[in-house]
Chain A
Amino acid sequence: MSFLFFFTLSFVLISAVLAVHARDLFVSTIWLSVFSLMMATNFFILDAADVAITEAAVGAGVSTVLFLSALALTGEKESGKRVYRLLPSAALFTLALVLIIVSLEHPRLGDPSAPVHQHIAPWYLSETPVLIDIPNVVTAVLASFRGYDTLGETLVVFTAGIGVLSVLGFRPKRKVVVTAAQVSRRTVRIRDHLILRVVGKLLIPVIMLFALVVQFHGEYSPGGGFSAGALFASAVMLYGILEGADRSIKAMPQLIMLRLAALGASIYIFVGIFGILLGSNFLDYSVFSSDPVAGQQLGILLIEFGVGLTVASVLVMVFNAFAGRDTY
């Protein structure tokens, strides 16, 4: 295991250096995708399967697509000349040196007596079966014990979506006049990828089904709202890539996506307020049912649904905002 970990970790380092080094931004994007995939493998080797799924879906999948659609707008060559300044390089080198020296003081990887494993983790591990009774402790921590943090993250995702929309514009503002040559070039491109379209369409329902499994099986197996939302959005992105962004916007209009994103975050908040109304604290699900454990499980299911809805619709919205801008 340690050899495998060393191997993937050094590959992370190599791909990071190559991503920075590449002058071609397209190449750089691909290296970043490799970086994320290796990082996901790393997380999996460290038994963090939930994080691995999210990293693979968001880092290697969705963000690569977003980078590529951004490159379609900006061009793929790095502009300007690279200058190497002495002072920033020295500062960064010193910082790296300090970090390396500090990392020598770290407890060994996986050391059970490390402070991080002594603080609150034993409590989570011993109380989750009693209080919530689901096998996946990560979901219990994320959705119930630390529900405030996850609410914050969901709102951050929502705000980020709003931010991207306010920069890129809500919908293509004007109809661009397209010459016949450009149209024929576009149709040739799509026609030549007939096999890609047929097989890609075959995969879309499977990806969506898998997203639903990750969403609603998140209490028993790795997964949850964040990774499920990213998987669902990647299915829509696949559709947009194969059929053109105009059709994916038609299928998932921006305005509806925006409202769904707001709805997801609202579901989370209202579940929290519901706890207050039933006489307990904000985001305390124990009072939802006569049995506190069943109440906790119901609450987790509801807020995970809210998280998934927000993440999926924000990512679809951002993709549509990038890809929907005319690039003829």
Chain B
Amino acid sequence: METEFLQSLPRLLAYASMVIGSAFIVIGGIGVLRMPEIFTRMHASSVTETTGSLFVLAGLMILSGFTLATVKLFAISLFLLFTSPVSTYALVNTALIAGQKPVVVKDSTGGVSA
């Protein structure tokens, strides 16, 4: 019973990781649809492309074990880790330079939130 559980542990871990990643992707998608302006929208979409895809890739890596596919998946995740935040940054920075302003809302206590 216990060894069986230990054997299936990597698979469970992989599935859990992929479900978490998919959840992040769904959350990011909802955020892009519901957020009011580009800065918060990009904040939501950056969740999709970093955390979401990395969790899914990590799950796939656990599933494929010690094979060449794992090395390729690792290379892809490294590539995503470098490019996704930078592309998000570049897009938002360009929006700022082009004159987009974040929407600022004053709440009832007088505090300011984006």
Contacts and interface: CB of A to CB of B under 8 A. Distances in A.
Interface of A: 188-189, 192-193, 195-196, 199-200, 202-203, 206
A113 to B, nearest CB: 33
B86 interface: yes
A135 to B, nearest CB: 15
**Nearest 7 A/B pairs, CB to CB:** A199-B86, A196-B90, A199-B82, A195-B89, A196-B86, A192-B93, A195-B86
Interface residues of B, number: 8
Contacts of A195: 86, 89-90
Contacts of A196: 86, 89-90
B97 A189 contact: yes
A196 B92 CA distance: 12
B100 interface: no
Interface in B72-107: 79, 82-83, 86, 89-90, 93, 97
A192 B97 contact: yes
Given A193-B93, A196-B90, A203-B83, 9 more contacts: A188-B97, A189-B97, A192-B93, A192-B97, A193-B90, A195-B89, A195-B90, A199-B86, A203-B82
A150 B46 CA distance: 42
Q: Is the interface of A mostly helix, strand, loop or mixed?
A: helix
Interface string B36-55: 00000000000000000000
Interface of B: 79, 82-83, 86, 89-90, 93, 97
Contacts of B79: 206
Contacts of B97: 188-189, 192
Contacts of A200: 86
Contacts of B93: 192-193
A20 B89 CA distance: 29
Contacts of B89: 195-196
A251 B94 CA distance: 27
Contacts of A202: 82
A200 B89 CA distance: 13
A188 B94 CA distance: 11
A200 B79 CA distance: 11
A188 B98 CA distance: 12
A193 B89 CA distance: 9
Nearest to A198: B86
Contacts of B83: 199, 203
Contacts of A188: 97
A199 B78 CA distance: 12
A202 B79 CA distance: 11
A34 to B, nearest CB: 15
B76 to A, nearest CB: 12
B21 to A, nearest CB: 18
A46 B15 CA distance: 27
A196 B86 CA distance: 6
A45 B81 CA distance: 26
A289 to B, nearest CB: 31
19 contacts: A188-B97, A189-B97, A192-B93, A192-B97, A193-B90, A193-B93, A195-B86, A195-B89, A195-B90, A196-B89, A196-B90, A199-B82, A199-B83, A199-B86, A200-B86, A202-B82, A203-B82, A203-B83, A206-B79
A202 B89 CA distance: 16
B2 to A, nearest CB: 38
A189 B86 CA distance: 16
A102 to B, nearest CB: 38
Nearest to A188: B97
A203 B97 CA distance: 25
Nearest to A185: B97
A71 to B, nearest CB: 15
Nearest to B93: A192
Nearest to B90: A196
A202 B82 CA distance: 9
Nearest to B86: A199
A206 B97 CA distance: 30
Contacts of B90: 193, 195-196
Nearest to A206: B79
Nearest to B82: A199
